[in-house]
Structure 1
Amino acid sequence: MRYLFAIRKMRNWIIFKEFLIICCIAMLLPSAIKAQNPTRNIDYFLQEAVKSSPTLKDYKNQKQALKIDSLLVLATAKPQVTASSAGMYAPIIKGYGYDEALSNGQVLEALLNVNYDLLNKKKISNQLQGIKLQSDSIKYAGELSTFDLNKSITDQYIAVYASQQDVNFNKNVFTLLKKEETLLKELTRNNIYKQSEYLTFLVTLQQQQLTLKQAELQYQSDYAMLNYLAGITDTTVAVLAEPTLKNPVLLTENDFFTKRFDIDSLKYINQKQAIDLNYKPKLGVYANSGYNSSFILQPYKNFGASVGFTLSIPIYDGHQKKMQYDKLGFSTLTASTYKDFFIRQQKQQLYMLSKQISNTDQLSAQINEQIRFAKGLIDVNSKLLHTGDVKVADYIIAINNYMAAQNLLRQTNINRLKLINQFNYWNK
Structure 2
Amino acid sequence: MKYILSFILCLLLHNSLLAQTHTLDYYVNQSLTNSPLLKDLNNQILSSQLDSLKIKAGLKPQINGNGGGLYAPVIRGYGYATAITNGQSVDALISANKTFIGSGYLKSQYYALQLSRDSLGNIIHLNEQDLKKNVIAQYITAYGDLQQYKFNQEVVDLLSKEEDLLKRLTRSNVYRQSDYLTFLVTLQQQQLQLAQSRLQYKNDFALLNYLSGIRDTTFAELAEPAITKAILPGVNSSVFFKQYKLDSLRLNNSRKLIDYSYKPKLNIFADGGYNSDLSYQAYKNFGTSAGFSLIVPIYDGGLRKLQYKKLSLEEDTRLTYKAFFYNQYHQQIDQYTQQIAENEKLITQIKDQMRYTESLIKVDTELMRTGDLKISDLILAINNYLAVKNLYTQTTISRLQLINQFNYYNR
What is the TM-score when the length of structure 1 is the normalising length?
0.90
| Alpha-carbon distance in structure 1 between the residues aligned to 2:133 and 2:52 | 34
What SS does the aligned partner of 2:77 have?
A: coil
Counterparts of 2:241 and 2:249 in 1: how far apart (Å)?
13
Q: 2:387 aligns with which of 393, 400, 404?
A: 404
Secondary structure of 1:183's aligned partner: helix
Letter matched to residue 287 of structure 1: A
- Per-residue CA deviation, residues 107-144 of structure 1 (Å, 9 max, x unaligned), is 21111111011235433322221211111111111111
Shift of 1:334: 0.1
Q: Output the amino acid matched with 2:220.
A: A
Q: Any gaps of 5 or more consecutive residues in structure 2?
A: 1-14
* Alpha-carbon separation, structure 2, partners of 1:209 and 1:155: 28
Distance, in Å, in 2 between the alignment partners of 1:122 and 1:296 is 51
- Distance in 2 (CA, whole Å) between partners of 1:268 and 1:251 is 26
Q: CA RMSD in A?
A: 1.5
**Paired residue for 2:343?**
360
Cα deviation for residue 234 of structure 1 reads 2.1
Cα pair 1:109 1:293 within 8 Å, conserved: yes
Q: Using the alignment, how far apart are the partners of 1:121 and 1:103 within structure 2?
A: 44
- C-alpha displacement of 1:36: 7.4
Q: Which 4+ residue blocks in structure 1 deviate beyond 4 angstroms?
A: 33-36
User: What residue number does 1:12 align with?
Assistant: none
- 1:273 is matched with 256
| 8 Å Cα contact 2:21-2:222 kept in structure 1 | yes
Cα distance in structure 2, aligned partners of 1:274 and 1:34: 65
Report the secondary structure of 1:173's partner residue: helix
Counterpart contact for 2:69–2:90, Cα < 8 Å: yes
Counterpart of 1:373 in structure 2 is 356
Q: Deviations over 1:130-174 (max 9, x none)?
A: 211111111111111111111111001101110110011000000
Question: Is the CA contact 1:248–1:354 (under 8 Å) kept in the aligned structure 2?
Answer: no
Percent identity between matched residues is 46
Shift of 1:252: 4.1
Match of 1:323 in 2: 306
Report what 2:243 is aligned to.
260
Contact 1:40 1:240 in 2 (8 A): yes
Take 1:344 and 1:156, find their aligned partners in 2: how far apart are those partners?
28
The answer (yes or no) to whether the contact 2:17–2:221 under 8 Å persists in 1 is no
Q: Which residue is equivalent to 1:292? A: 275
Sort the Cα spacing of 1:298 and 1:121 in 2 relative to 1 into closer, same or farther, 3 A: farther
Distance 2:163 2:171 in 1: 12
Are 1:99 and 2:78 counterparts?
no
**Secondary structure of the corresponding residue to residue 270 of structure 2:** strand
Please give the residue correspondences for 1:67-78 in structure 2 after superposition, counting only pairs within 5 Å.
67-78=49-60
Q: Does the 8 Å contact 2:364/2:378 carry over to 1?
A: yes
Q: Which amino acid aligns with 1:418?
A: Q
Q: Note if 1:135 corresponds to 2:139.
A: no
CA gap of 1:313–1:411, structure 2 versus 1, over 3 A, is: same
Taking a change above 3 Å as real, the CA distance of residues 120 and 288 of structure 1, as seen in their structure-2 partners, is farther
Residues 16 and 219 of structure 2 are in contact (CA less than 8 Å); yes or no, is this contact kept in structure 1?
no
Name the structure 2 match of 1:347: 330
1:306 aligns with 2:276: no
> What is the Cα deviation at residue 235 of structure 1?
2.1
Tell me the alpha carbon deviations over residues 360-406 of structure 1, each in whole angstroms, 9 at most, x when there is no partner.
01111111111111111111111111111111011000001011101
SS in 1 for 2:291: strand
Cα separation, 2, equivalents of 1:46 and 1:326: 45
The CA deviation at 1:86 is 2.1
1:205 pairs with one of 177, 187, 191: 187
SS in 1 for 2:272: strand
Q: Is the 8 A contact 2:65 2:95 kept in 1?
A: yes
| 3-state SS in 2 of match to 1:141 | helix
**8 Å contact kept, 1:49–1:149:** yes
SS of alignment partner, residue 376 of structure 1: helix
The aligned counterpart of 2:6 is none
Q: Are the counterparts in 2 of residues 77 and 120 from structure 1 also a CA contact under 8 Å?
A: no
* Distance in 2 separating the partners of 1:71 and 1:126: 15
TM-score normalised per structure 2:
0.93
In the superposition, relative to structure 1, how do residues 297 and 122 fare at CA in structure 2: closer, same or farther (>3 Å)?
farther
CA contact (8 A) 1:56 1:145 kept: yes
**C-alpha distance in 2 between matches for 1:168 and 1:119:** 72
Moved more, 258-267 or 350-359: 258-267
The answer to whether the 8 A contact 2:143-2:224 is kept is yes
CA distance in 2, matches of 1:121, 1:77: 11
What is the alpha-carbon distance in structure 1 between the residues aligned to residue 37 and residue 303 of structure 2? 39
Classify the secondary structure of the residue corresponding to 1:258.
helix
Once the two structures are superposed, the pairs formed by residues 166-181 of structure 1 within 5 Å of their partners are 166-181=148-163
Whole-Å separation in 2 of the counterparts to 1:357 and 1:249 = 14
Query: Aligned equivalents of 1:335 and 1:315: distance in 2?
Result: 33
Q: 2:371 is matched with which residue?
A: 388
Structure 1 regions of 5+ residues with no counterpart?
A: 1-32
